[in-house]
Amino acid sequence: MIPLDPGARRAILEACDSLREESLDWLFRLVRCPSTLGNEASALNEMERLYRHLGLAPFRIPTEPARLKDHPGFSPPVLPYEGRDNVAAIHRPRQARGRSLALQGHVDVVPEGAADMWATPPYQPAIRGGRVFGRGAGDMKAGIVSYAMAFRALQRAGLQPAAEVQMQAVIEEECTGNGALAAMLALPKPDAVIIPEPGPGVEALYTAEVGVVWAWVTVSGRPAHVRDMQAGVNAIEAANVIAAAFKAYEAEMNRGERIHPAFHGVNHPVNVNLGTIEGGEWNSSVATRCRIGLRVGVMMGCTAAETKRDIERLVAEAASHERLRGATVKLEFKGFMADPCLFPKESEISRLAARCFAEATGGSLRDYPATGLTDGRHFVLYQGTPCAVFGPDAQDIHGIDESVGVESMHGVTRSIALAIAEWCGVERL
Ligand SMILES: [Zn+2]
C-alpha cells in the first residue's frame, strides 16, 4: 500500500463530501433508466455521460457469444446482444507508480414486479427517511455512482490515481454474467477489482457466493375437455410434480453436512426458486403446455456442471412419474451456468476495503457469505485477480420498494476514494 499523506487524505474526504448533491443527482439519473433485460440502452448511454464527466473517453465492448462460448465462465444466452454493448473507460496516469485497479458494476436491473405495489413508481426515484427508493437504486446503481464519485473526488482534491484504473459498466449480471466476462476479457488484467454490490440490509463485504444454474422445463400434456379429464394429461399439474421434485432436491442440498464452511451459520444457503410459470389455454380445457423457469443454487464445493447433471437426472426421474404418463418433457439450460466463488477476506484488496471503510465511516463491514451471486466470480475464478465486493446498505433488492441508504452510499464513496488512493497511489493533476 502506498501511504497517503494526511493532507491528501483530508482533501479527498472533503471532496467526497462536496460531491453529495452531485452523487444523488447521478443516482437519480441512473434509476430513471428502466434497464431491465434488453432495455439497458438508456443506462449504458448514461454511463458514457458519467465517464465523460470524469474526463475519460468511454468506449463500447460487445458481448460476442461466438468468441465466448468455449470459456468456462460463459452462460447460455437468453437474448441476442446487438445494440447492448457494455461501456468501459480507462484512466492512464502520467507515470504508473502504483497498482492498477478495475471498478466494475452492472447497469441491468431485475423487473419491478407488481408496479402498483410500490409506494412510488419504481423508475421515479424518491427520497424518504434518508433512503433513495427505486428499482436498481441499491442493486447496484448507488455502487456505480460511488466508484465514479470516488474517482471524481480525487480530481477535486487536485489528484489522480498513479496507476491505470479501468471502469466497466456491464449488462446481464442478473441472468448470465456474460457482459462482465466480455468486458474482463477485452481489457488488460488489473491488479485488483472493486465491485460495489449492495450488502444484506447493512454494509457488507462478500466473503463467498453460491453458484447458480437456470433451467427451463416445458411440459406438453394431452389436451381434452374437462368433462373427459381422465383422458387428458394436464401440463400444469404435471409441471407441479416436477417443481415438487426440485423442492425436495433443495431440502437435500441444504442438509448440514453438504454446507461448505464458508456458509456455516447461513440459514438455508442453497435456494431453488420457481421463478416463472406460463401455461394453459382455457379454464375449461385440460392444459396442453406449461413452462416453468427455475433458478437452482450451487453450494461451494459443487460445480455448475454437476448441478446441471443433478437437474437432468431430477427431471428425467420426475418425467417417469405416473401423473406424467403420456406427457413430453423438454429441459433447457438458458441463463446462469455459474460456479460458486470465495472472496478471501485476507486478500490485500479486501483488507484494504475493510480498513478504508472503517476509516471513512467509523463503522465496519459485516462478513457476507452471499446466497446470491455477483460478477466477481469471473475475475477470481478465470483471471486470478483478487476482488473486493462490498457496498452500501440496500433493502428489498429484487423486491417491492427497493431502497438504498443515502448516508451509506456516501460512506461507500469515501471508502472507495481512500482505497483507490492507497492502492494506486496518487499524482498531482
Ligand atoms: Zn447486483
Which tens digit of pLDDT belongs to each residue from 358-402? 999 999 999 999 999 999 999 999 999 999 999 999 999 999 999
CA of 288 to the centre of ligand 1 (A): 37
Name residue 166's beta-bridge partners.
90, 102
CA of 109 to the centre of ligand 1 (A): 8
CA of 106 to the centre of ligand 1 (A): 7
Structure confidence at residue 230 (pLDDT): 72
Residues present in the chain in total: 429
Q: Is residue 1 part of a domain?
A: no
Q: Is residue 253 part of a domain?
A: yes
Same-domain check for residues 95 and 187? yes
CA of 171 to the centre of ligand 1 (A): 11
Structure confidence at residue 67 (pLDDT): 96
| Residue range 118-143: mean pLDDT, rounded | 98
pLDDT tier for residue 326 given thresholds of 50, 70 and 90? confident
Q: Is residue 277 part of a domain?
A: yes
CA of 375 to the centre of ligand 1 (A): 8
Per-residue pLDDT reduced to its tens digit, 241-259? 999 999 999 999 999 999 9
CA of 165 to the centre of ligand 1 (A): 21
CA of 326 to the centre of ligand 1 (A): 42
Question: Angle, to 10 degrees, between the axis of helix 20-31 and the axis of helix 6-18?
Answer: 50
229: pLDDT strictly greater than 70:
no
Same-domain check for residues 199 and 310? no
Structure confidence at residue 181 (pLDDT): 98
CA of 202 to the centre of ligand 1 (A): 15
- Among left, alpha and beta (phi > 0; psi -120 to 50; other), residue 126 is beta
Structure confidence at residue 233 (pLDDT): 87
Same-domain check for residues 199 and 285? no
CA of 199 to the centre of ligand 1 (A): 10
Same-domain check for residues 238 and 198? no
CA of 367 to the centre of ligand 1 (A): 17
Q: Which of 99-108, 315-324, 332-341 has the lowest mean pLDDT?
A: 315-324
CA of 7 to the centre of ligand 1 (A): 35
Residue type, 358: A
CA of 83 to the centre of ligand 1 (A): 22
CA of 331 to the centre of ligand 1 (A): 27
- CATH code, domain carrying 261: 3.30.70.360
The DSSP string of 327-365 is -EEEEE--S-EE--EE--TTSHHHHHHHHHHHHHHSS-P
CB 147 within 8 A of CB 167: yes
> What grid cell was written down for 199?
450488502
Same-domain check for residues 274 and 346? no
Q: Is residue 146 part of a domain?
A: yes
pTM metric for this prediction: 0.96
Residues 106, 336, 220, 237: is their CA dihedral positive or negative? Answer: negative
pLDDT tier for residue 221 given thresholds of 50, 70 and 90? confident
Same-domain check for residues 172 and 50? yes
Q: Is residue 362 part of a domain?
A: yes
CA of 324 to the centre of ligand 1 (A): 38
Q: Is residue 272 part of a domain?
A: yes
2: pLDDT strictly greater than 90:
no
Same-domain check for residues 254 and 192? no
CA of 398 to the centre of ligand 1 (A): 9
CA of 292 to the centre of ligand 1 (A): 24
Structure confidence at residue 151 (pLDDT): 98
CA of 197 to the centre of ligand 1 (A): 5
Q: Is residue 118 part of a domain?
A: yes
Per-residue pLDDT reduced to its tens digit, 287-314? 999 999 999 999 999 999 999 999 999 9
Helix (H, G, I), strand (E, B) or coil at 393: strand
Same-domain check for residues 170 and 45? yes
55: pLDDT strictly greater than 80:
yes
CA of 123 to the centre of ligand 1 (A): 17
Of 315, 338, 361, which residue constitutes the final position of a domain? 338
177: pLDDT strictly greater than 90:
yes
CA of 334 to the centre of ligand 1 (A): 19
Owning domain of residue 272: 211-338
CA of 141 to the centre of ligand 1 (A): 9
Same-domain check for residues 311 and 407? no
Same-domain check for residues 327 and 347? no
CA of 139 to the centre of ligand 1 (A): 4
CA of 108 to the centre of ligand 1 (A): 8
Of 308, 338, 368, which residue constitutes the final position of a domain? 338
411: pLDDT strictly greater than 90:
yes
Of 338, 361, 384, which residue constitutes the final position of a domain? 338
Same-domain check for residues 249 and 347? no
- CATH code, domain carrying 43: 3.40.630.10
The residues near 393 (Cβ < 8 Å, ≥ 6 apart) are 198, 199, 201, 202, 203, 404, 405, 408
225: pLDDT strictly greater than 80:
no
CA of 154 to the centre of ligand 1 (A): 26
> What grid cell was written down for 9?
487524505
CA of 316 to the centre of ligand 1 (A): 33
Tell me how far the alpha carbon of residue 359 is from its chain's centroid: 27
Smallest Cα–Cα separation from 356: which of 91, 106, 153? 153
Structure confidence at residue 223 (pLDDT): 73
CA of 198 to the centre of ligand 1 (A): 7
Same-domain check for residues 344 and 405? yes
pLDDT tier for residue 183 given thresholds of 50, 70 and 90? very high
Distance between CA atoms of residues 297 and 345, nearest Å: 23
Please tell me the total count of domains within the chain. 2
Structure confidence at residue 306 (pLDDT): 98
CB 365 within 8 A of CB 205: yes
Q: Is residue 168 part of a domain?
A: yes
| Residue range 111-132: mean pLDDT, rounded | 97
